[in-house]
């Protein structure tokens, strides 16, 4: 802290410094007073210019919206008047007879009419509750609902939507949150045009794109919009407070009667004054700095504070030094640097303490992660606070995940075990290899992994490779792994974990239980059960074919009468998988558990007959046409490597188990076998032509790599694909 020195007594009262200070302060005050009127005048000018600029931008956006509405009206009329689409003129609705070619033309023509308009994000021509045309798909006779499945209004029920249509058949229906199959979720200004016979033309105008046209890019975060329909009702507003703090500018569209109001906050206008305010601030700071420098110079800056600081640093260093250091020379003790060494040592001490506390916090966090994961696995996330705490310790918990249970067991062999902590070695290896997977050791023999759904295939391949190598190379251990089905909520961790525990005590197959790899269980090998029979049993039961299912069961009657638990648990695991896949249909059924005093064959027979009767009684009037649609889709996309159960579920909006059941029932072949046949037929044609290498043919036939293509081809034809190919080799 500075203070005045006694040397001031030697300065004259009217010294040059005193006159300088008085003159500088007077000049600064006069100039500042002269700038104040300029500030008020500049504010009014900036406000006028900002409103004018915003009005011009708004006029441009309104013109764009008018052009969009005109485009929508013209597109609706042009589509309706096109003679190619004669079905639109039917008095009796029979749209399902329209050919696939005509449907494709409908989509393309509608897209050509609408897509040039940048504001329109989605549109659809709805012919009835069950029939619609969009730029991407046509849906006829599929119970579309009160608007096309291509987009849906999230917060509205059928009655609310129907009431809105009856009130405003043509015009703006309001701004609603819309979820679409292809464009995701967004806020849309929906415009409707009513045609005869309850036909509607919908167009979704992206409100964010509309805002980009109405408001300049630098103002979008601060300016707000309000929309009123032709009746004066507010259908959209971004205001959360009274309009007293805003300048408002309104424009009305030439079509549709929509009134658009832009609210310009006073704070945005104030921001335009920042350069002038910055100038005044810099001016004041300079004045203060000049005064701050002039006063110490004029009063002879005292050096006593600096001496006092040095003395304090030296005193603290000497006091803190150990007794042994007292032998140092007096010159060294009096060194100016000692004080700074003392400060450096203190900083080092604080840094060490900080690292220690951080390590303690990390350890506590890991412990709390384990605790909350245990609570989730045992179904104890009962309250919102528990769920919030869970997310706080797992902020990156995936939206869609699977559980992988990995096991490593010792074999009783004479070779002995080379590693006393083999599972710890595997855990460290997986932690380095799978950074996005949460891992927890459940027992001395099992690890639990929570893997994101997007990466589970890659992780499963890694664990498969690990298990295969352990089982092949390690004489003292065998490994196994189980993968749960897909889950989406942390509260479902408990059911996923129970599912894995149930599977752990049964013998399941890759196709039914989605296993990584099944360990080599001697009892299972001695039971005589064939892995290939599991698909036959599963398909027979789910198709209601009790005769075939019981024939398969009869083949293992002798083992069941001898209380062979391996065979019983295999059948029970198949029934558990079926019940899980068809939970709604089989909710009231029970599956018997193993008991040595029970007639295992009779128990399974009764359960299988019950399952088959329920599946046989289930009616699906659209199954044949639905299966044909699936077949047609596969015929077009079987060369796509991304064709899988997930893409079929997304395309047909139902579970894959339903698709698989309908396809097998009506086409007479499993859907996976049909895809393989199509790919193998194409592969043979390309191999005989000899224009491509085997690796290129594998990619053209829908396989991601040469190895998977080779296995399927060898299994189908009994010889390698290179025997037919004119270009030998993989590449």
Could you report the per-residue pLDDT of 695-704, keeping only the tens digit for each? 889 999 999 8
CATH number at residue 645: 1.10.10.60
Check residue 43 and give its pLDDT: 67
What domain count does the chain have?
4
Long-range pairs, 590-598, Cβ under 8 A, ≥24: 594/565, 594/568, 594/569, 596/563
Q: Is 159 exposed, middle or buried (0-12, 13-18, 19+ CB in 10 A)?
A: exposed
Say if residue 261 is in the same domain as residue 282: no
DSSP letter for each residue of 127-186: EETTEEE-SS-EEESS---SS-TTEEETT--HHHHHHHHHH-SSEEEEEEEEEETTTEEE
Does residue 320 sit within a domain? Answer: no
Question: Quick count: other Cβ atoms within 10 Å of Cβ 331?
Answer: 7
Check residue 634 and give its pLDDT: 92
Question: Quick count: other Cβ atoms within 10 Å of Cβ 542?
Answer: 23
In the predicted structure, residue 513 carries a pLDDT above the cut 70: no
Instruction: Find where tokens 């074919």 sit.
Output: 545
41-55, 586-600, 628-642 — which one is most confidently predicted on average? 628-642
104-113, 342-351, 528-537, 722-731 — which one is most confidently predicted on average? 104-113
Choose the final residue of a domain: 617, 633, 667: 617
In the predicted structure, residue 16 carries a pLDDT above the cut 80: no
Check residue 731 and give its pLDDT: 43
| 343 or 450, which is more confident | 450
Say if residue 21 is in the same domain as residue 137: no
In the predicted structure, residue 189 carries a pLDDT above the cut 70: yes
> Distance (Å, rounded) from C-alpha 238 to C-alpha 490?
34
Say if residue 43 is in the same domain as residue 164: no
Say if residue 387 is in the same domain as residue 260: no
Check residue 675 and give its pLDDT: 92
Query: Which region among 196-200, 500-504, 706-710 has the lowest average model confidence (pLDDT)?
Result: 500-504
11-21 burial, b at 16+ Cβ within 10 Å, e below that, comes to eeeeeeeeeeb
In the predicted structure, residue 597 carries a pLDDT above the cut 70: yes
Residues 403 and 415: beta-carbon distance below 8 Å: no
Say if residue 529 is in the same domain as residue 411: yes
Residues 714 and 706: beta-carbon distance below 8 Å: no
Check residue 417 and give its pLDDT: 53
Does residue 332 sit within a domain? Answer: no
In the predicted structure, residue 4 carries a pLDDT above the cut 60: no
> Distance (Å, rounded) from C-alpha 429 to C-alpha 484?
22
Check residue 729 and give its pLDDT: 46
Does residue 279 sit within a domain? Answer: yes
Query: Which region among 45-59, 472-486, 529-543, 717-731 has the lowest average model confidence (pLDDT)?
Result: 717-731
Check residue 490 and give its pLDDT: 86
Say if residue 663 is in the same domain as residue 706: yes
CA 701 to chain centroid, in Å, comes to 30
Say if residue 613 is in the same domain as residue 627: no
Question: Quick count: other Cβ atoms within 10 Å of Cβ 223?
Answer: 23
Say if residue 426 is in the same domain as residue 560: yes
Record the tokens describing residue 227, joined without a space.
């929309």
> Distance (Å, rounded) from C-alpha 619 to C-alpha 378?
38
Q: What average pLDDT does range 542-548 have in this prediction?
A: 82
Task: Give the alpha-carbon dihedral of 362, 366, 371, 377, to 10 degrees.
Answer: 150
Predicted TM-score (pTM) of this structure: 0.37
Does residue 363 sit within a domain? Answer: no
Say if residue 602 is in the same domain as residue 627: no
Task: Give the alpha-carbon dihedral of 367, 485, 646, 574, to 10 degrees.
Answer: 170
28-37, 279-288, 319-328, 433-442 — which one is most confidently predicted on average? 433-442
Residues 201 and 125: beta-carbon distance below 8 Å: yes
> Distance (Å, rounded) from C-alpha 697 to C-alpha 706?
9
> Distance (Å, rounded) from C-alpha 441 to C-alpha 504?
16
Query: Which region among 26-40, 371-385, 693-707 has the lowest average model confidence (pLDDT)?
Result: 26-40
Does residue 23 sit within a domain? Answer: yes
pLDDT band at 9 (very low <50, low <70, confident <90, very high): very low
Check residue 326 and give its pLDDT: 46
Q: Are strands 131-133 and 120-128 parallel, antiparallel or unpaired?
A: antiparallel
Check residue 529 and give its pLDDT: 56
pLDDT band at 335 (very low <50, low <70, confident <90, very high): very low
Record the tokens describing residue 570, joined without a space.
């295999």
Provide the residue range defining the domain that includes 664. 623-723
CA 592 to chain centroid, in Å, comes to 40
Q: Where are the strands (E) in 356-434, listed by range?
A: 401-410
> Distance (Å, rounded) from C-alpha 483 to C-alpha 486?
9
45-49, 208-212, 652-656 — which one is most confidently predicted on average? 208-212
| Alpha helix ranges (H) inside 582-669 | 600-617, 623-637, 645-652, 656-667
In the predicted structure, residue 99 carries a pLDDT above the cut 60: yes
* Backbone dihedral angles phi then psi of residue 97, each to the nearest 5 degrees: -80, -5
Does residue 107 sit within a domain? Answer: yes
Record the tokens describing residue 551, joined without a space.
């024939």
In the predicted structure, residue 435 carries a pLDDT above the cut 80: no
pLDDT band at 420 (very low <50, low <70, confident <90, very high): low
Record the tokens describing residue 159, joined without a space.
């009655």
How open is the CA angle 208-211-213, to the nearest 5 degrees? 120
In the predicted structure, residue 591 carries a pLDDT above the cut 50: yes
In the predicted structure, residue 250 carries a pLDDT above the cut 60: yes
Per-chain mean pLDDT for the chain: 75
Choose the final residue of a domain: 558, 593, 617: 617
Say if residue 613 is in the same domain as residue 666: no
Q: Is 155 exposed, middle or buried (0-12, 13-18, 19+ CB in 10 A)?
A: exposed
For 389, 520, 642, the CA distances from 184, given in Å and listed in that order, are 30, 46, 20
> Distance (Å, rounded) from C-alpha 578 to C-alpha 343?
72
Say if residue 250 is in the same domain as residue 391: no
Instruction: Find where tokens 């044949």 sit.
Output: 624
Say if residue 495 is in the same domain as residue 629: no
| 373 or 674, which is more confident | 674
In the predicted structure, residue 519 carries a pLDDT above the cut 60: no
Q: For the chain, give the percent of residues with pLDDT over 70.
A: 75
Q: What average pLDDT does range 405-431 have in this prediction?
A: 72
Does residue 346 sit within a domain? Answer: no
> Distance (Å, rounded) from C-alpha 600 to C-alpha 567?
10
Q: What average pLDDT does range 479-498 have in this prediction?
A: 82
In the predicted structure, residue 419 carries a pLDDT above the cut 50: yes
In the predicted structure, residue 527 carries a pLDDT above the cut 60: no
pLDDT band at 334 (very low <50, low <70, confident <90, very high): very low
Check residue 730 and give its pLDDT: 46
3-class secondary structure, 264: strand
Check residue 239 and give its pLDDT: 82
């Amino acid at each position: 802290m500075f203070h005045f020195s006694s040397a001031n007594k030697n300065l004259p009262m009217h010294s040059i410094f005193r006159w300088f200070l008085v003159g500088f302060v007077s000049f600064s005050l006069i100039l500042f007073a002269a700038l104040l009127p300029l500030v008020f005048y500049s504010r009014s000018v900036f406000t006028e210019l900002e409103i004018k600029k915003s009005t011009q931008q708004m006029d441009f956006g309104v013109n764009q919206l008018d052009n969009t509405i005109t485009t929508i009206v013209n597109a609706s009329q042009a589509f309706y008047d096109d003679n190619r689409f004669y079905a639109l003129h039917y008095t009796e609705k029979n749209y399902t007879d329209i050919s696939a070619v005509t449907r494709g033309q409908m989509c393309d023509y509608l897209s050509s009419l609408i897509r040039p308009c940048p504001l329109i994000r989605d549109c659809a021509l709805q012919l009835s509750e069950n029939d619609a045309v969009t730029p991407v798909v046509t849906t006829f006779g599929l119970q579309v609902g009160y608007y096309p499945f291509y987009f849906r209004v999230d917060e509205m029920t059928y009655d609310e939507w129907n009431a809105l249509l009856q009130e405003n058949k043509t015009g703006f229906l309001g701004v609603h949150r819309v979820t679409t199959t292809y464009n995701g979720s967004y806020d849309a200004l929906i415009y409707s045009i009513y045609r005869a016979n309850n036909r509607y033309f919908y167009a979704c105008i992206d409100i964010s794109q509309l805002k980009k046209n109405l408001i300049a890019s630098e103002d979008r975060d601060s300016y707000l919009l309000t929309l009123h329909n032709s009746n004066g009702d507010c259908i959209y507003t971004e205001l959360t407070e009274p309009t007293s703090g805003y300048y408002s500018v309104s424009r009305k569209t030439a079509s549709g009667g929509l009134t658009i109001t832009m609210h310009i906050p006073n704070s945005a206008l104030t921001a335009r004054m920042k350069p002038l305010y910055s100038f005044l601030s810099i001016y004041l700071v300079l004045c203060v700095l000049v005064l701050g420098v002039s006063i110490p110079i004029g009063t002879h800056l005292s050096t006593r504070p600096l001496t006092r600081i040095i003395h304090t640093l030296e005193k603290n260093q000497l006091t803190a030094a150990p007794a042994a250091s007292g032998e140092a020379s007096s010159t060294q003790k009096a060194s100016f640097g000692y004080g700074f060494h003392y400060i450096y040592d203190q900083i080092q001490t604080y840094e060490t303490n900080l690292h220690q506390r951080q390590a303690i916090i990390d350890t506590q966090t890991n412990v709390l992660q384990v605790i909350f994961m245990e609570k989730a696995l045992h179904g104890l996330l009962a309250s919102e606070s528990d769920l919030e705490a869970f997310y706080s310790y797992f902020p990156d918990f995936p939206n869609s995940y699977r559980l992988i249970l990995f096991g490593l067991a010792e074999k009783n062999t004479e070779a002995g075990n080379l590693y006393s902590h083999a599972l710890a070695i595997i855990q460290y290896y997986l932690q380095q290899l799978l950074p996005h997977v949460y891992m927890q050791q459940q027992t001395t023999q099992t690890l639990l992994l929570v893997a994101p759904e997007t990466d589970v295939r890659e992780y499963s391949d890694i664990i498969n490779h690990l298990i295969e190598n352990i089982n092949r190379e390690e004489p003292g251990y065998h490994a196994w792994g189980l993968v749960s089905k897909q889950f989406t909520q942390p509260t479902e961790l408990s059911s996923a974990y129970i599912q894995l525990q149930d599977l752990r005590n049964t013998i399941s197959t890759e196709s039914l239980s989605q296993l990584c790899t099944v360990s080599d269980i001697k009892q299972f090998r001695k039971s005589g059960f064939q892995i290939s029979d599991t698909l036959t049993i599963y398909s027979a039961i789910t198709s209601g074919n009790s005769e075939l299912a019981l024939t398969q069961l009869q083949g293992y009657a002798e083992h069941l009468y001898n209380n062979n638990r391996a065979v019983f648990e295999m059948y029970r695991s198949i029934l558990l998988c079926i019940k899980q896949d068809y939970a709604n249909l089989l909710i009231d059924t029970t599956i018997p558990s193993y008991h040595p005093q029970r007639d295992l064959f009779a128990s399974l027979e009764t359960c299988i007959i019950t399952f088959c009767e329920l599946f046989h009684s289930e009616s699906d009037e659209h199954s044949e046409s639905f299966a044909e649609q699936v077949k047609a889709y596969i015929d077009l996309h079987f060369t796509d490597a991304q064709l899988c159960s997930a893409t079929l579920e997304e395309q047909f909006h139902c579970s894959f188990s339903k698709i698989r059941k309908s396809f097998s029932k009506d086409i007479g072949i499993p859907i996976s076998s049909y895809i393989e046949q199509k790919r193998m037929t194409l592969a043979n044609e390309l191999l005989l032509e000899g224009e491509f290498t085997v690796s290129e043919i594998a990619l053209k036939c829908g396989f991601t790599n040469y190895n998977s293509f080779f296995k399927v081809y060898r299994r189908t034809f009994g010889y390698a694909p290179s025997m037919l190919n004119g270009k030998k080799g993989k590449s």
